[in-house]
Amino acid sequence: KENIYEKAAELIEKSKKTIVLTGAGISTESGIPDFRSPGTGLWEKMDPMEALSTRVLYNDPIKFYNNGFKILLSMKDAKPNKAHYILAQLEQEGLISGVITQNIDNLHQKAGSHKVFEVHGQTRTGSCINCGEVVSIDLLNSKVEKNEIPPKCDKCNGILRPDVVMFGDPMPEDFERAWREAESSDLMVVIGSSLTVSPVNFLPGLVKHLIIINKSETPEDRRADVVIRESASEALSTILAYLKIAKN
Ligand code: NAD
């Protein structure tokens, strides 16, 4: 029987340039719920496409700050798990070029990854929807905690928003860069993403070879060289053990 971990390790060793694409599933082991896992996904409690939409943010900011914003805040103190640390190690050893992430939880950076393309924004800063002034997320939080809802810009009194890509927002510049990075790679390792959110789900199509590590099925499974239906940390630990050139 074929050893899928060994095959994944071989593909990574043979590849000239490998890029990783992560989704919410890599952070569930850090205690952050994803959207679509049965039983624990946020989708079962609310509609994130509504709570985290520009429609609600701009038309009903009070509702946004009482719902969607709380989801973002809940990620603040999460810690990276083994999967994030292994990716940082693989980057350091030159086995992957970087990580394209749909996550906004900052956990790749906390684990030590340097090249991170945040295609859905991030939760370190916020900005004014009127004048564009950039503020730290802590300032935004402190205003919300003092019941200044919606929080207002100190310069122009416009509404402040987190710099997270909401449903309805345009894609940030990092997406362009991620696209070029994918185009110039020969292997992509997808980890913990249902590959149902557009346009990020077009990225695997740009790369010749594909490894998918995801607990449930994805639309790209059929064309992948290797599919591993297991938790991200278990799968990456086993692959790491097969990598001859990595310092274990
Ligand atoms: P998704 O919720 O659509 O899919 C997550 C996938 O990960 C599922 O298919 C699930 O089976 C799998 N999974 C869950 N735990 C896993 C584990 N331990 N190991 C391996 N696989 C696991 O997530 P998505 O594709 O990233 O799309 C959801 C959107 O929600 C993204 O745009 C993302 O920005 C956002 N989001 C981010 C966070 C975060 O920053 N941590 C959390 C929730 C949602």
132-150 pLDDT, tens digit each: 999 999 999 999 999 999 9
223 is in an annotated binding site: no
Among 22, 26, 34, residue to substitute to test ligand 1 (most atoms within 8 Å of Cβ): 34
Q: Do residues 24 and 101 share a domain?
A: yes
Cα 124 to chain center, whole Å?
14
Q: 36 CA to middle of ligand 1, Å?
A: 7
Is the pLDDT at 248 greater than 70? The verdict is: no
Nearest partner of 225 among 27, 40, 15, judged by Cα: 15
Q: Do residues 106 and 69 share a domain?
A: no
Give the residue numbers spanning the domain of 19: 1-32+80-120+171-248
Segment 115-134, tens digit of pLDDT: 999 999 999 999 999 999 99
Instruction: Report the pLDDT value the prediction gives residue 2, as an integer from 0 to 100.
Output: 82
Report the C-alpha gap between 34 and 27 in whole angstroms.
Answer: 8
Cα 50 to chain center, whole Å?
19
Q: Do residues 175 and 217 share a domain?
A: yes
Q: 106 CA to middle of ligand 1, Å?
A: 14
DSSP state of 155: T
Mean pLDDT of 54-79: 92
What atom in ligand 1 is closest to the CA of residue 218?
9
Mean pLDDT of 64-92: 94
128 is in an annotated binding site: yes
Instruction: Report the pLDDT value the prediction gives residue 44, as an integer from 0 to 100.
Output: 67
Q: Do residues 115 and 127 share a domain?
A: no
Tokens representing 218 are 């994805």
Q: Do residues 235 and 137 share a domain?
A: no
Give the pTM: 0.95
Q: Edge-to-edge strands of the sheet including 160-164?
A: 134-136, 121-128, 160-164
Residues at CB less than 6 angstroms from ligand 1: 23-25, 27-29, 32, 34-37, 41, 75, 102-105, 120, 192-194, 196-197, 213-216, 231-232
Which of 97, 131, 164 delimits the end of a domain?
Answer: 164
The domain total for the chain is 2
Active site residue 209: no
Q: Average per-residue pLDDT in the chain?
A: 94
Q: 33 CA to middle of ligand 1, Å?
A: 8
CATH number, domain containing residue 182: 3.40.50.1220
Report the C-alpha gap between 78 and 133 in whole angstroms.
Answer: 27
Which of 145, 164, 183 delimits the end of a domain?
Answer: 164
